[in-house]
Structures are given as C-alpha cells and as structure tokens.
Amino acid sequence: MRVLLIEDEVHLREQIARQLKDNNLTVDAVADGEEGLYMATEYPYDVAIIDLGLPKLSGIEVIQQLREQGFDYPVLILTARGRWQDKVEGLESGADDYLVKPFELDELVVRIQALSRRRSGQVQLLRCGDLEMNLDTRVASRGGQTLKLSPTSWRLLEALLRASPAV
C-alpha cells in the first residue's frame, strides 16, 4: 500500500513516516500543500494523510482540489486544533476520516488500513497452512473447523499470523 503524507512539522512527519514504514507501508512524505498536491495528483496513492495547517496551500485546499480533479482515494486529515469546525470543514471538503493531535501512531496505522480496506472491499484474511483467520467476520478455523478463541487468544493468534513466516 502506498501512502502520501503531507505534514509540515518535521518531527511529527518523521515519526509518522517511520511508523508507517515499520508497518510495511510505502510512504512519500512532503512538508507543504503545494508539493503535496503535486505528489497527490502525480502518483497513484491508496491513502493520503493530510495535515490541515500547511504552508503554501492549506490541507482543506489540497483536498478540495484533489476531489475537483476527480481523485477519490481516501484521505485522513490531521488537525492540531481539535476544533469541531475544522473537522467538519475537512470532512465537507472530501476527507474520509480525521485524527486530532496528539494521537497514537498505532491508531493512525489502524485507521489508514481500515480506510484502504473499505475502499478496496477486500476481506481481511490471515492464513498459515490450514489455519485461517477472517478479521471481518472474526471467525478462525483450522482445516475447515471453526476454532473457539478467547479475546486474548484471538489477539495472540492474530499477532503470530501477521508476523508469519517469522517465528
């Protein structure tokens, strides 16, 4: 999955980029709205993460122009201000989701993956040999037989399958 990140705060941009890469996502990170819009229209992204307060072109303007030009991939906005007006304006301009700073990097990754999944309509299936986990229906099975798992076992098995084939 290829992600575009437009965020002008250096530290946060680097943190997010590292977190996404650690989760095996391909990331292009830029620092202002103008370059962001250029990248956003030039390359095929699956998801974009756009800060609202950006130099040169605001996040809202970037999203509006993207949508006007017919780019419909999911956009998650970041807002420092936490004012509900910002979120509403962002969502009205065509964003699909938002996070208010400060946020957990893990949550950002989960939201990004969910946005991409919703778009592709893919069923999330983890598999190893005859062991299968369907993350949408939350049914696990082995050799076609449904497994009964406690929530903790479910999380453990999911973590192991995600890490597979690593030990």
35 binds Ca ion (CB under 5 A): no
User: Secondary structure of the chain: what % helix, strand, coil (to 5)?
Assistant: 45, 25, 35
Provide, rounded to whole angstroms, the least separation between the CB of residue 58 and Ca ion: 9
Our CB check for Ca ion shows the closer of 8 and 61 to be 8
Alpha carbons 24 and 153: distance in angstroms, whole number: 24
Cα torsion through 101, 94, 115, 79, rounded to 10 = 0
- Does 100 contact Ca ion by CB under 5 A? no
Q: Give the integer Cα–Cα distance in Å for 38 and 165.
A: 38
Point out the residue whose Cβ comes nearest to Ca ion.
53
Q: Does 86 bind Ca ion (CB under 5 A)?
A: no
Q: Provide the minimum distance between the beta carbon of 8 and Ca ion in the complex, in angstroms, as a whole number.
A: 5
Question: Applying CB under 5 A, does 56 fall inside the site for Ca ion?
Answer: no
Check binding of 101 to Ca ion (CB under 5 A): no
For β-strands 145-147 and 125-128, DSSP reports them as unpaired
Q: According to CB under 5 A, which residues from 1 to 20 bind Ca ion?
A: 8
Shortest CB 21 distance to Ca ion, Å: 21
Helix (H) or strand (E) holding 30: strand 26-30
- 53 vs 134 by CB, closer to Ca ion: 53
53 binds Ca ion (CB under 5 A): yes
Residues 16, 33, 51, 98: which binds Ca ion (CB under 5 A)? 51
Q: Does 34 bind Ca ion (CB under 5 A)?
A: no
Please, which residue, 77 or 133, has the CB nearer to Ca ion?
A: 77
Q: Is the peptide bond before 165 cis (omega within 30 degrees of 0)?
A: yes
* Tokens of residue 63, six digits: 């999203």
Note every long-range contact of 98-101, with CB atoms under 8 Å and residues 24 or more positions apart, other chains counting. 101/12
* Interface ranges with Ca ion (CB under 5 A): 8, 51, 53
